[in-house]
Amino acid sequence: MPTCLAQLDFTTVATGVLFYALAAVVALSAVGVVVSTNIVRTAACLLFALVGVAGLYVLLSAEFLAAVQVVVYVGGTLILIIFGVMLTSKSAALTTGARRGEVAVACIIGAVMLACLTLILLRTTFTSDPMDPAAPYPVVALGTALLGNYLIPFELISVVLLVVMIGAAYLAKARRGDR
């Protein structure tokens, strides 16, 4: 094996390359979401951005979070596309153009967000603890927490979601009855 390769730390190089590749995918698709005027294309770009973020989670050894990200957001973009196709007619309305005022407002909000995030990034001192190999795997800890220590809040949130679902079903049904 060439010495130059042996000297490079494998993990640093591999994670570096993968990080920048994934970050590029996420950034480009995020730009695509903003720029594209076609609603289905926007959803497709959003999908790539979210899957790229899942890849970043994998790089951080958070496979569970990555899998959840994929499962939840693929479903989410799916629904978005269905609405995009079903609630708008095929011909004209599928393209969503923004007016000049909206663009200006969006730019201002974006700039403020960017400034805030940059400030936070610059002013925070990040500490990172290496993972303890003896500790139970995060999924086990997560499961114990959700169904043990935090059972009541977890179930309460589920009840709130159930209420939302019932409400949505009721509204949809009432509307259909009027017709």
Partner 1 sequence: MVSGVMSETAQHIPGLFARVIYDATGLAPSPWASWAMGFVVVAMIFLPAIGLFAVMAIWVERKVAGHIQSRLGPNRVGPIGLLQSIADGIKLITKEDLTPDGADRLLFKLAPYIAFAPAFAAFLALPFGPDLCFEPNLAVGVFWVLAILGLEVMGVILGGWASNNKWATFGAMREACQVVSYEVPLGLSIIVAVAVAGTLNMVTLGHLQGGGLHTWVIFRNPFVMLSFVVYFIASLASNKRAPFDLPESDSELVAGYHTEYSGLRFSMFYFAEYAAMLVVACIQTALFLGAWHDPFGLIGYYYEQFTRTNNTAGLVALNFLAAGIFVGKALALVFVQMWVRWTLPRPRIDQVLYACIKVLLPLSFVLLVGSCVWQLVVPEVTGVPWQTYNPFSPAAWRGAGGTMVTQVLLALVGVGCVGAIVAWVGYAFVTGRNLKQRLTDPSPIPERV
Asked if residue 71 binds partner 1 (CB under 8 A), the reply is yes
Q: Output 119 or 139, the one with its CB closest to partner 1.
A: 139
Note every long-range contact of 16-23, with CB atoms under 8 Å and residues 24 or more positions apart, other chains counting.
18/55, 18/59, 19/56, 19/59, 22/52, 22/55, 22/56, 22/59, 23/52, 23/56
Residues in 19-48 that interact with partner 1 by CB under 8 A: 38, 40-41, 44, 47
Residues in 88-127 that interact with partner 1 by CB under 8 A: 90
Q: Which of 21, 24, 27, 74 contacts partner 1 by CB under 8 A?
A: 74
Asked if residue 140 binds partner 1 (CB under 8 A), the reply is yes
Radius of gyration (C-alpha) of the chain in whole angstroms: 22
Give the C-alpha separation, 179 to 177, whole Å. Answer: 6
Asked if residue 166 binds partner 1 (CB under 8 A), the reply is no
From 22-30, 115-123, 132-140, 153-161, span contacting partner 1 (CB under 8 A): 132-140
